[in-house]
């Protein structure tokens, strides 16, 4: 079996980090074509965020490195992009502080657990959705899409709060040596979640087509 660093799912996770300098380059150029390229890179990052976990299960390559690497890659990508948007797109400082501060807290808590309890905290569904919505938020700032900024800002804030609460509960239980509750993704939950996502995406795309084209 190859080294965990060379396994396909982990390489997919690392690809999000590898995309950051390209996003920075095209964002700094500032022309319309470069902005669209940035959006395309954001979409690629969003796809890899779901693809790495799928490949890990499909290829039977689930590892502690992969479990830790997935959320770290998300946080590095989002953190670097937020800083770039502050520089080039007037991204609000309070929202940047909320995003980066929450991610730093999770990374610190994760390192404490790994060192003390030898436990790796995996991503949760709320965190995945938070990253996905953040991708749309950051993309809206890239192309200066006002409706998208308004829509995704508050959804991002709500998901950040929820995911922070969930991570806090996981941290406290793991730090006490208690077993973690197993999340059961019931079919009804999945249908409701996917339906809401599809409706929100359709509204987002429709308004983007109307406002920008």
The token duo for 190 is 């999945």
Q: Which of 38-47, 151-160, 176-185 has the lowest mean pLDDT?
A: 176-185
**Burial per residue of 17-54, b for 16 or more beta-carbon CB atoms within 10 angstroms, e otherwise:** bebbeebbebbeeeeeeebebbbebbeebbebbebbbe
| Torsion angle, alpha carbons of 19, 99, 67, 3, to 10 | 30
Structure-token match 């948007």, residue found: 85
Q: What is the pLDDT of residues 135-160, one digit of tens each?
A: 888 888 988 888 889 988 988 899 88
pLDDT at position 86: 93
Domain 4-212 sits in CATH at 1.20.120
CB 113 within 8 A of CB 171: yes
Q: Where are the domains of the chain?
A: 4-212
Mean pLDDT for 100-109 is 84
């Amino acid at each position: 079996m190859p080294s965990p660093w060379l396994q396909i799912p982990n390489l997919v996770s690392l690809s999000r980090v590898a995309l950051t300098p390209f996003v920075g380059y095209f964002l700094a150029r500032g022309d319309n074509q470069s902005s669209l390229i940035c959006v395309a890179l954001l979409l690629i990052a969003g796809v890899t965020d779901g693809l790495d976990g799928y490949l890990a299960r499909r290829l039977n390559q689930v590892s502690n490195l992969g479990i830790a690497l997935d959320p770290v890659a998300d946080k590095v990508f989002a953190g670097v992009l937020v800083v770039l948007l502050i520089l080039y797109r007037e991204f609000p400082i309070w929202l940047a502080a909320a995003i980066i501060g929450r991610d730093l807290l999770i990374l610190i808590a994760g390192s404490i657990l790994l060192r003390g309890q030898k436990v790796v905290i995996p991503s949760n569904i709320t965190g995945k959705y938070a990253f996905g919505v953040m991708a749309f938020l950051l993309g809206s700032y890239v192309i200066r899409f006002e409706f998208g900024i308004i829509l995704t800002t508050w959804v991002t804030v709500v998901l950040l709060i929820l995911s922070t609460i969930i991570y806090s509960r996981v941290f406290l239980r793991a730090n006490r040596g208690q077993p973690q509750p197993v999340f059961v993704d019931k079919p009804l939950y999945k249908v409701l979640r996917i339906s809401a996502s599809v409706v929100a995406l359709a509204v987002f795309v429709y308004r983007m087509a109307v406002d920008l084209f």
